[in-house]
Chain A
Amino acid sequence: MLLKPPETEAVPDCCRGGLYSCLLPFGLFGLLCLAWPRVAGGAVFTAQWAWVPSLDLNLAFRLDGLSLLFGLIITMTGFFVTIYASSYMAGHPHNGRFFVFLHAFMTAMLGIVFADNLLLMFICWEATTVLSFLLIGFDHEKAEARENARQALLVTGAGGLFLLMGILLVKSAGFPMTLSLLGDSRDLIQTHALYPAVFICFLVGAMTKSGQVPFHFWLPNAMSAPTPISAFLHAATMVKAGIYLLMRLHPVLGGTTLWMSTLVLVGGTTALWGAVQALGPCDLKRILAYTTLMALGVLTLFLGGRTVMSLTAATTFLMVHALYKAALFLAVGSIDHQTGTRDLNLLGGLMTRMPLTTLAVAGATLSMAGFPLFFGFIGKEIMYAGALAEEIWPLFATGITLSANALMTAVAAIILITPFFGPLPAHLKHTWETPWTMRIGPAFMGLLGIVFGIMPEWVSKHLIQPAVFAFHPDREEIRLFLFHGINLPLLLSVVTLTSGAVIYWQKTRLRRGIGAATEKLWVTTPGLYQSGLTRFLGTAAAVTRILQNGSLSIYLSVIVLTLVLLTGSVWLPHAADIVTVPAVTGPYIAVGLFVFVLGAAAVVVTARHRLAAIGGLGGVGGGVALIFLVFGAPDIALTQLLVETLTLIFVSLILLRLPPMEPIINPGTPSRMRTLRNAILSAGAGLVVFTLISGVVGHPLDRGQTTFFETHSYLSAHGRNIVNVILVDFRSLDTLGEICVIVLAAWAGVHLIRRPFGQKRAP
């Protein structure tokens, strides 16, 4: 692509369908704008439809200041990303799917922020997880993209399960699922025994989605998504879902010491880690991903506070970040699209080739670095104010913010200066500016950074104040100014810019140092994830080898062992009373028959040759038939004898065609051990069965059903042979099933016999 002049470009300039689909986010943005004035004035729109009322899940939506702010960000970014993607994705074979997923994702995201029902929010939350999986893996032919998509899915999916558990814990404790009602139960929830569990569950859910350390690693890896996706999902919207959740839950779960300390700690760590890591990579998108981590960490840090100031800081910075980050991602995507690389070492001097992109990046980076007159400056001022106002560890918070901001300034400088200034490398000679569709987004958002920076009062009145009021009870007026006067935050800003410059100057040395330090870390979560995955697969394979080892006799042994252990353990302790066997009464011939049957069975068990075994089987069958006869059951005696005869005929017919039996005890110890094991197992099972049936016959039998059959056999069913009447009349359904079995056996058996074997089917 690099060598091709623009006029012979084969790929279309822009995907029309995709471009027109930008009307969807635009329309939604317009609708939100219509409601904006009233929401800014404090109005709250709600709508509710029943969905699953039995689970307290309704399609309840709520538009207040907070969801308005998020909604505006989502739809606006969505609008520009769609326009941008219509060119970026042009010519891609699956761009239809791309735009469908993109808009589905946007809808789900809007669902999260507008849902007024925890379960509904969760459903949208999971939808974003799935759709982001599809979008991160969009370039699915690259192994890296697939792997990263799975990583993101597993990490955020696991977080989703925590969130679900949290929600269900809240529900099982009897609290409502409606978010706006949940705030009323604040005190009850915070004193509930399950509060820590609930808090942890929600927190982990938010942390995974918002890339907080130690679940952060999926986010930089998710950069294998197409750049519009990174801009939309991993800068402006999805990763903010966790932040949104924390904001929404702030009035419910927030404000406790647990909440404050955990959030400040987690957020601080993430911010610092992200900022430090951002200096490392040479891939522009990866740098941006780490700065996103930093931003998310800072946001979490500020949500740990409970003063209006720190929450205002969070909300303001959220906006600042959404604007500059989306713009930067899109611009980086443009560079990538036009030059084919995002590597800092290969880029330079693009200012002359891509002037408008340069301007947009300049606007965004200056905002990011927090230069005065840019919106980022306002954000930074309020951040320092907020950090100083934290109730828990304000100095820690301030320190973190300061160092993170300083690093950000340096990173902003890297992003602006390296690719755009300096000499133009030879291989970039044929680079040209992007089509308008790819310029409008970064340019507009960069411009907005300046506009907001000049008129912060309007922004604070119409966007930030309504948003903060939506999740904070205090109605303290929030006002942002271009210049707050000479105060501590301003001083800190100056320190930030200076140290940022120092860091930029020393960037090579720092980068080396950070790289070395990171390598020295003996445990990292990406490492844990990888080794966990490997170990999991290893365990899985080992478990499979042990459990499904293919040996029928082991399978059977396990089954018998289970039977003996389960049944025996509960029953044998009670079985003592049947040891006192009552005296034997009745025909002694029966005793003789028992002995005969057992003897014949012993022949079968110990037989070394088939013939002996068959003879023994015949003996057992005949003996059993005689037992039936002796105890008044001529019908079964007859049937048993006949079945036995037929079985013997078939056994002989078939066994004649089989090899001789193998000896039951092979020489060699393992097999001897096995035989012993089998003997013990089968003796145990026999003991269980013997004791059970002895126990059963120790009680009198309720002969009610038999009496009924005796009474009605002739009178109602016209038969004198009660057994036969039961078979063909009283319980004829059994018999019907039984002849089904035998007919099926015949069908299957005949087919098995007839089918030619050993040869492959003819083609």
Chain B
Amino acid sequence: MEALSKPVLVIGGGIAGIQASLDLADQGVHVYLVERSPSIGGKMARLDKTFPTLDCASCILTPKMVSVARHPNIELLTYSEVVEVRGSAGDFHVKVLKKPRYVDEDKCIGCGECISKCPSKVPDEFNLGMSNRKAIYFLFPQAVPLKATIDREHCLYFTKGICRVCERFCPTKAINFEQKPETLELNVASIIIATGYELMDPGLAPTYGYGRYLNVYTSLEFERLVSSTGPTGGEIMRRSDKKHPRSIAFIQCVCSRDVKINPNCSAFCCMASVKHAILAKEHLPEVDCTIFYMDLRAFGKGYQEFYNRAMREFGVRFIKAKPAKIEEDPETRDLIVTYEDTFEGIKKSMKFEMVVLAVGVKPVYPEALPLTVGEDGYIRLRNPYLEPISTTIDGVYVVGVAAGAKDIPDSVIQAGSAAIKASIIAGGVKA
């Protein structure tokens, strides 16, 4: 199938951006998919399993990533950022800055030889700093494209002017320390923003002690902790003593549904925590799991049933309360959670060996676009009912969590919906 139309720009290579790109490409539209990190995959690539089916996230995502990489209509621009957008629907002029990987993408075969030889260890952002990577690295082993990237800030050559070990061991002479940033100019008919989210700073809820107490985790950290590809190979162990916790508390609505910090509901945390509790029970059958929640939002297909299973089959305890504070027992590093028992109307506290905070999300937007943001912090839409994905700029669409917190199926649906609209603007169907 040949492209008969003008290209479309998709910004963000998470599941929403991937799906939008594939839908467009399959409609014969040429797509530029711009991703700022070295690999596509987004947050979903970090997930171990997905609710409510417990499908392993990699198993359903990686094939899509592979399809993106080999689709003739998709031009994948990873480690790149959109820096300027001019023009209007049907005729946008976009500047994309391609950051230097210091590795020639055409030559790199992804053998990993350089990585095994690199002497410089750096906290691994993919595992949220819970393990180390090298200064030359793949974002994760199933990265697409599987091309090494040199992290200039930590590379011994760039910082101290010595080493170049990677260059010596690269079998294809792909290392290029002279690589410069490159600016590409694209002309596209339409733009789809799928830039996703980042977690709110858990420090905004200081009473929970994240950062101070070793055994308090964010839900994304816990996700990596239970993942077989994560820093512990799927072993749930405490930061403080590397022991399996015998009890875990999951606290919902941290930095969300809180008028002082962020009033929005993050839509997926309830189910993510239910899933985490089930996974914890699967990994450690003896572990005691408690979920503190305000309203358990099990609204999607099969979610309520999943929630019921967590209660009945896995014996996960649910307490309707928003804990007031967490304190650490300095000896054991256990955590004391204080909450109001709404049943009895009294303050209670409970001790846990690990606490996982379901931290709320905030959207991420490309700065190059003059977008208006609404009171809720999300992009203002032209008409939330009739054109739920249209921004106030004609021809620019927003999908996924960038358009409001949502789960994977809803992100995939929005991506499809945006793809057909962008494809209409791109034109060129031979009907």
Are A and B part of the same complex? no
